[in-house]
Structure 1
Amino acid sequence: MSTVLPLHEPLPRARPARDAEKLATRLRHQMGRAIADFGMIEDGDKVMVCLSGGKDSYTMLDILLQLQKKAPVSFSITAVNLDQKQPGFPEHILPAYLQSLGVDFHIIEQDTYSVVSRVIPEGKTMCSLCSRLRRGALYTWAEANGITKIALGHHRDDLVATFFLNLFFHAKLSGMPPKLRSDDGKHVVIRPLAYAAEDDIAAYAQAKAFPIIPCNLCGSQENLQRKQVKKMLDAWERETPGRIETIARALGDIRPSQLSDPKLFDFLGLGGGIAAMPAAGVTLPVWHEDNAPAQAP
């Protein structure tokens, strides 16, 4: 199996400080709104910030630390990284960075790389199994240390991409919620960057010169389905700027009666015939062309 061994991936030269502050202001606003909208953090919470070494998790930790200083509730932050023992992993980078911040942190050491390498054939993507093993290790540590909220660095574009992955490849309307309870009921997962655009996060990471650790140390290829969806979304955004934001807002404005799932809306209860006719003087909703059901081709 081929292995990429860079110790550190340098970021381009930082933007001017005023640009970084404008980005920080926007990201603080978006994160604060997401936390409030979904009740992500409550008084007394112990928040575990999962830090991978990528731009998203660095930005999440940085902005969350800024908000913590003026938050209306008191909560603690512990940054946690899982060292999966990939060959060439620069294990010194994250501890040095976190020590410089003075933030509480812990490095979990667990050799999931050997497990994935043994199970997944060479040349196949490792991401799915790697993700499950990583999640298990983080959940185990969180339970053992009294963590009440587990913060992940997924952003707005991740939420939109996951929706289309499920739509195109799994025939279901579902996505990546900003807040969820784990299947075993023991953990609450939050995504404070749910309203933040990936471009803003990338620009902020560049401006702050975070010590980025690349996610290609395992030599695994990127998930091809997700790559295909990202290519589609990028093309849409170039053709119609703002489309991703529009789709993201739509994910928060669901109309069950306008879809086709009888488990979510009582279509049978709508009835029919003379008995279902409205009383005199009752005005029925008007169907407009812009929300009428699409006609079969």
Structure 2
Amino acid sequence: MEERDRLERRLLRATAQAVRDFDLIEEGDHLMVAVSGGKDSYTLLHLLMRLRERAPVRFELTAVNLDQGQPGFPAHVLEEHFRAVGVRYRMLRQDTYSIVKRLVPEGKTTCPVCSRLRRGILYNTAVELGCNKIALGHHRDDLVETLLLSALYAGSLKSMPPRLRSDDGRNVVVRPMCYAAEEDIAAFSSEMRFPIVPCDLCGSQPNLRRRRVKELLAALSAEHPAVKGNLLHALGKVVPSHLLDRDLLARLGGATGADPWLDEEDGGCEPTSAPIVALGPTPRQRAPGG
């Protein structure tokens, strides 16, 4: 019990700080909490329910689970959990599983197609339910892994923003656990004995790039425990003048126009300009573990 309480306090502090830093929850909000059945989304729902008890603003929660048609998916397990904790909920079922299996060649990563289909369904459901925000269970490790994945495999500097308006403007996605460490979430989920439902579609795929990055971070953290916290802090402490994004430097008042050192016929190296993705309002506090 003591360990569970200690972990809950730590996670609540991290979540509350993220909510304050990025204005993730405001007066009158109605949050749709996407609960997949994994440790992260169960913990997110628990933390938001606890924060609602003492928050200085009033907000509503609706938990939503999407059964994507995976054979044997135990939707009843999640529904029983929602009833047990006393949260308003909506159970959805749309067969995206067969679509993913048809579109993705054997052995290829299913995550991009699967997540795109799931996101569209959740966005539409949020509008239907009158929810002005969608809360997702991404945590600190997801953010720093995405940063490295983008840099190493896509050649751009970006991660998961704590607050993001969808392209069509209908939804606002928030990630209240963006400061929370995965190891704390895993330990808390174990202490709470959440009824975990594994993902048999993409969660069981071997040799994913994210898994390789996760292993790299684990190895580095074994040598220097502050690695993940430092990477998270780096996301909130960008120094544009020390990067190579010429478009960004120009917007900040740097040099523009033709290069007097090169003739027009000389050509030369043209590094790809990678726009920095805004992470929301500038954090008012340093991220935990940074």
Aligned to 1:267: 254
Aligned to 1:236: 220
Aligned to 1:51: 35
Distance (whole Å) between structure 2 residues aligned to residue 158 and residue 187 of structure 1: 21
Aligned to 1:40: 24
SS of the equivalent of 2:246 reads coil
Describe the shift of the 1:121–1:80 C-alpha distance in structure 2 as closer, same or farther (beyond 3 A).
same
Name which of 51, 64, 72 aligns with 1:80: 64
TM-score w.r.t. the length of structure 1 is 0.83
Q: CA RMSD in A?
A: 2.0
String of CA shifts for 1:41-99, please: whole Å, max 9, x gaps.
Answer: 11000100000000000000001100000001000000000010100111210000100
TM-score w.r.t. the length of structure 2 is 0.85
Distance (whole Å) between structure 1 residues aligned to residue 141 and residue 45 of structure 2: 18
Deviation at 1:122, TM superposition (A): 2.3
Deviation at 1:217, TM superposition (A): 5.1
Listed as ranges, the matches of 1:84-233 within 5 Å are 84-216=68-200, 221-222=205-206, 224-233=208-217
Q: Flag structure 1 segments of 5+ consecutive residues without an equivalent.
A: 1-16, 270-297
Q: Flag structure 2 segments of 5+ consecutive residues without an equivalent.
A: 257-290
Distance (whole Å) between structure 1 residues aligned to residue 188 and residue 134 of structure 2: 23
SS of the equivalent of 1:180 reads strand
Name which of 238, 243, 258 aligns with 2:242: 258
Aligned to 2:285: none
Describe the shift of the 1:163–1:146 C-alpha distance in structure 2 as closer, same or farther (beyond 3 A).
same
Aligned to 2:49: 65
Distance (whole Å) between structure 2 residues aligned to residue 54 and residue 125 of structure 1: 19
SS of the equivalent of 1:194 reads coil
Distance (whole Å) between structure 2 residues aligned to residue 112 and residue 187 of structure 1: 21
Query: 1:42·1:73 contact (CA, 8 Å) conserved in 2?
Result: yes
SS of the equivalent of 1:189 reads strand
Query: 1:88·1:217 contact (CA, 8 Å) conserved in 2?
Result: no
Distance (whole Å) between structure 2 residues aligned to residue 238 and residue 259 of structure 1: 29
Distance (whole Å) between structure 2 residues aligned to residue 92 and residue 53 of structure 1: 11
1:29 aligns with 2:13: yes
SS of the equivalent of 2:248 reads coil
Aligned to 1:6: none
Query: 1:113·1:218 contact (CA, 8 Å) conserved in 2?
Result: no
String of CA shifts for 1:172-203, please: whole Å, max 9, x gaps.
Answer: 11111111111112111000100000000000
Describe the shift of the 1:222–1:73 C-alpha distance in structure 2 as closer, same or farther (beyond 3 A).
farther
Query: 1:127·1:222 contact (CA, 8 Å) conserved in 2?
Result: no
SS of the equivalent of 2:61 reads strand
Deviation at 1:149, TM superposition (A): 0.7
Higher Cα Rg, which structure: 1
Distance (whole Å) between structure 1 residues aligned to residue 20 and residue 206 of structure 2: 34
Distance (whole Å) between structure 1 residues aligned to residue 225 and residue 14 of structure 2: 19
SS of the equivalent of 1:196 reads coil
Distance (whole Å) between structure 2 residues aligned to residue 219 and residue 165 of structure 1: 17
Query: 1:51·1:57 contact (CA, 8 Å) conserved in 2?
Result: yes
Query: 1:153·1:193 contact (CA, 8 Å) conserved in 2?
Result: yes
String of CA shifts for 1:194-231, please: whole Å, max 9, x gaps.
Answer: 00000000000000000000112568515611111111
Distance (whole Å) between structure 2 residues aligned to residue 52 and residue 217 of structure 1: 13
Deviation at 1:267, TM superposition (A): 2.2
Distance (whole Å) between structure 1 residues aligned to residue 108 and residue 197 of structure 2: 22
SS of the equivalent of 2:92 reads strand
SS of the equivalent of 1:46 reads strand
Describe the shift of the 1:217–1:165 C-alpha distance in structure 2 as closer, same or farther (beyond 3 A).
closer
Distance (whole Å) between structure 2 residues aligned to residue 261 and residue 188 of structure 1: 28
Query: 2:70·2:200 contact (CA, 8 Å) conserved in 1?
Result: no
